[in-house]
């Protein structure tokens, strides 16, 4: 079975290399990597790798796109790029994922996809979200465990675990909880951020199924600075982009409202993106925590052996600062 992934990236080089190396090592047919801003350093490392196609989303690209110009909303750019990859792919299945999301559990997943009847056009896969234990400094930005979403019904453990900060979480996660999707390329469906758009009139159960195990590992914020930057992108000029779930809106709005209060932002990050030892223990007892099963530094060494990358939080933050300082465009 051939499978592709498509993403739109505007990240420090080391972060993007981890994403590429992991999926190349898994045997992806092609990664459609749309660079929202030029990255000569990355292109020099990747070169003409047969499993990676780099598309620079410059003015000429957007002028020739279906939109005719560069959309202001980064999510619109993502979906346009995903649809372009879908139209060119020669794979059997394609997934639209972000550069901080890693596909895992592929053996079970691909067997499940192969068993799907032709009427099933798209398959939803579940996700986990990376968290750090409070007070511990990770060795690199891909370290940490993953918490899993709680069942759809509101769980009585959540307010006990998170107290007043539960308002910033949805089903126990700071980011999304409802997964991503693998879609048949032959279906020609449009790819949204989390789901493919089924044909008009088709009921969900007729064209979509769900893989019952966790597949996506979501590194939602490589560092505190990376997460804060992500929240700022969701609220340009203080107006949170819609739609987002209520918990995400509260995060982004609070980051904007308290943008000059470092103590407030430190406290918000500590309680939304980090967990205490007690919380970690309870999440494991409740079956809502899983260890990481990807060694990203090893993958980079294997796939890009000549690359010299520093995956420490300090180095990634410094690279992110370069982006913020305008040495590459900051309009993502």
| Distance of alpha carbon 9 from alpha carbon 17, whole angstroms | 11
* CB-CB contact of 289 with 145 (8 Å): yes
pLDDT band at 332 (very low <50, low <70, confident <90, very high): very low
User: Taking residues 65-76, what's their average pLDDT?
Assistant: 90
| Distance of alpha carbon 72 from alpha carbon 80, whole angstroms | 12
pLDDT digits (tens, 9 = 90+) for 160-199: 999 999 999 999 999 999 999 999 999 999 999 999 999 9
pLDDT band at 323 (very low <50, low <70, confident <90, very high): confident
Average pLDDT across the chain, whole number: 93
User: Taking residues 246-257, what's their average pLDDT?
Assistant: 95
Whether omega before 243 lies within 30 degrees of 0, making that bond cis, reads yes
pLDDT digits (tens, 9 = 90+) for 296-319: 999 999 999 999 999 999 999 999
| Distance of alpha carbon 136 from alpha carbon 264, whole angstroms | 20
pLDDT digits (tens, 9 = 90+) for 179-190: 999 999 999 999
Strand 122-133 and strand 180-184: pairing?
A: antiparallel
DSSP at 197: E
Instruction: Identify which of 247, 313, 242, 250 has the alpha carbon closest to the alpha carbon of residue 75.
Output: 242
User: Taking residues 63-88, what's their average pLDDT?
Assistant: 93
With a cut of 70, say whether residue 76 has pLDDT above it: yes
* CB-CB contact of 25 with 2 (8 Å): no
Residue 238's pLDDT is what? 84
Region 3-222+276-324: CATH code: 3.90.550
Residue 91's pLDDT is what? 98
| Distance of alpha carbon 93 from alpha carbon 90, whole angstroms | 9
User: Taking residues 232-238, what's their average pLDDT?
Assistant: 85
Which one has a higher pLDDT value, 34 or 324?
34
Buried b (16+ CB within 10 A) or exposed e, 260-284: eeeeebeebbbbbbbbeeebbebbe
User: Taking residues 247-261, what's their average pLDDT?
Assistant: 95
Predicted TM-score of the model (pTM): 0.94
Residue 73's pLDDT is what? 87
**Percentage of residues in the chain with pLDDT exceeding 90?**
85
How many angstroms separate the most distant Cα atoms in the chain?
54
> Which of 160-174, 240-254, 260-274 has the weakest average pLDDT?
240-254
| Distance of alpha carbon 58 from alpha carbon 42, whole angstroms | 16
Give 198's strand partners.
none
User: Taking residues 19-28, what's their average pLDDT?
Assistant: 98
Distances (CA, A) of 36 to 59, 160, 186, 317: 11, 41, 27, 19
User: Taking residues 68-82, what's their average pLDDT?
Assistant: 92
* CB-CB contact of 251 with 231 (8 Å): yes
Burial of 136 (0-12, 13-18, 19+ CB in 10 A): exposed
Which one has a higher pLDDT value, 244 or 83?
83
Instruction: Identify which of 282, 117, 263, 253 has the alpha carbon closest to the alpha carbon of residue 184.
Output: 117
Residue 331's pLDDT is what? 38
The residues, ordered by sequence, that sit 6+ positions from 149 with a Cβ below 8 Å of its Cβ are: 126, 127, 128, 129, 171, 172, 173, 177, 178, 288
Residue 233's pLDDT is what? 86
| Distance of alpha carbon 5 from alpha carbon 96, whole angstroms | 6
Buried b (16+ CB within 10 A) or exposed e, 311-330: bbbebbbebbeebeeeebee
> Which of 20-29, 151-160, 289-298 has the weakest average pLDDT?
151-160
pLDDT band at 151 (very low <50, low <70, confident <90, very high): confident
> Which of 40-49, 234-243, 252-261 has the weakest average pLDDT?
234-243
| Distance of alpha carbon 22 from alpha carbon 299, whole angstroms | 6
> Which of 3-7, 240-244, 246-250 has the weakest average pLDDT?
240-244
């Amino acid at each position: 079975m051939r499978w592709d992934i498509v993403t739109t990236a505007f990240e420090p080089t080391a972060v993007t290399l981890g994403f590429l190396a992991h999926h190349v090592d898994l045997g992806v047919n092609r990664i459609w990597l749309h660079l929202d801003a030029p990255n000569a350093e990355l292109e020099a490392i990747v070169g003409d790798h047969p499993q990676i196609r780099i598309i620079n989303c410059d003015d000429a690209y957007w002028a020739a796109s279906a939109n005719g110009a560069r959309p202001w909303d980064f999510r619109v750019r993502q979906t346009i790029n995903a649809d372009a990859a879908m139209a060119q792919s020669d794979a059997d299945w394609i997934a639209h994922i972000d550069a901080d999301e890693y596909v895992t559990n592929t053996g079970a997943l691909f067997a499940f996809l192969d068993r799907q009847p032709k009427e099933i056009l798209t398959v939803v896969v579940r996700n986990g979200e990376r968290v750090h234990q409070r007070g511990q400094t990770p060795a690199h930005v891909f370290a940490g465990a993953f918490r899993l979403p709680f069942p759809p019904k509101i769980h009585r453990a959540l307010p006990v675990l998170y107290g007043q900060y539960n308002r910033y979480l949805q089903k126990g996660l700071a980011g999304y909880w409802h997964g991503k999707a693998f879609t048949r390329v032959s279906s020609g469906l449009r790819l949204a951020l989390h789901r493919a758009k089924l044909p008009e009139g088709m009921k969900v159960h007729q064209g979509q199924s769900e893989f019952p195990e966790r597949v996506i590992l979501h590194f939602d914020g490589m560092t505190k600075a990376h997460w804060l930057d992500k929240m700022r992108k969701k609220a340009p000029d203080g107006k949170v982009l819609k739609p987002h779930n209520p918990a995400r809106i509260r995060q982004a709005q609070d980051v904007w409202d308290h943008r000059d209060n470092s103590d407030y932002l430190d406290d918000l990050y500590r309680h939304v993106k980090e967990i205490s030892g007690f919380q970690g223990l309870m999440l494991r007892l409740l079956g809502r925590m899983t260890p990481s099963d990807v060694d990203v530094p090893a993958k980079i060494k294997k796939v890009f052996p000549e690359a010299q990358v520093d995956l420490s939080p300090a180095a990634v933050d410094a690279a992110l600062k370069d982006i913020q300082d305008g040495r590459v465009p900051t309009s993502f």
